[in-house]
Amino acid sequence: KQINSRATSESETMYCVYVAIGQKRSTVGQLIQTLEEANALEYSILVAATASDPAPLQFLAPYSGCAMGEYFRDNGMHALIIYDDLSKQAVAYRQMSLLLRRPPGREAFPGDVFYLHSRLLERAAKRSDQTGAGSLTALPVIETQAGDVSAYIPTNVISITDGQICLETELFYRGIRPAINVGLSVSRVGSA
């Protein structure tokens, strides 16, 4: 709320695009209710391909959300896009690839899954002043299995991004909030 009130006073709105991939419908419904209660829907867009939707929709949802975020960026505005979560998009892509009889690679994912995510995340950018000065910031969410950040998809996304914030369920249940594991969380953005 503090960030939003400061942005409004500076007459710069930060638009938010939230892409729910493979989430339960009830979870998406709760998120919509939370955003409504916070009066955040006026500057937010939700793209949802729920767990009950077919794999191709879960695969395409991040690209649809990104195109919406790019609209704001390309028109001199600022936007944040949250992909929740890209590991579920990768599973949908794996399912489609196996049905198409493409050769599986590590953990049965197709060999081009890294390219899939890098191509998507590299669309987030800051435009120069000459081209409108808009920006699109991406926050990809990856769900790990038992906290294993060395699995194939988490490793791929970590190698693409400028850092990661690792949250732990155990810290959350101990009352430590935000439940950030400072040992695994890293920033690769240098100071200027």
| Token pair 């120069």 in the structure block, residue | 128
**Which pLDDT score is estimated for 151?**
92
Q: Considering 102, 119, 127, 188, which one is annotated as catalytic? A: 188
Per-block mean pLDDT, blocks of 10 residues, the chain (192 long): 47 88 97 96 97 98 98 96 96 97 93 94 96 95 90 93 92 94 87 56
Judge whether 127 counts as a catalytic residue. no
Q: Domains along the chain?
A: 2-161 (3.40.50.300), 162-192 (no CATH)
User: Model-level pTM?
Assistant: 0.89
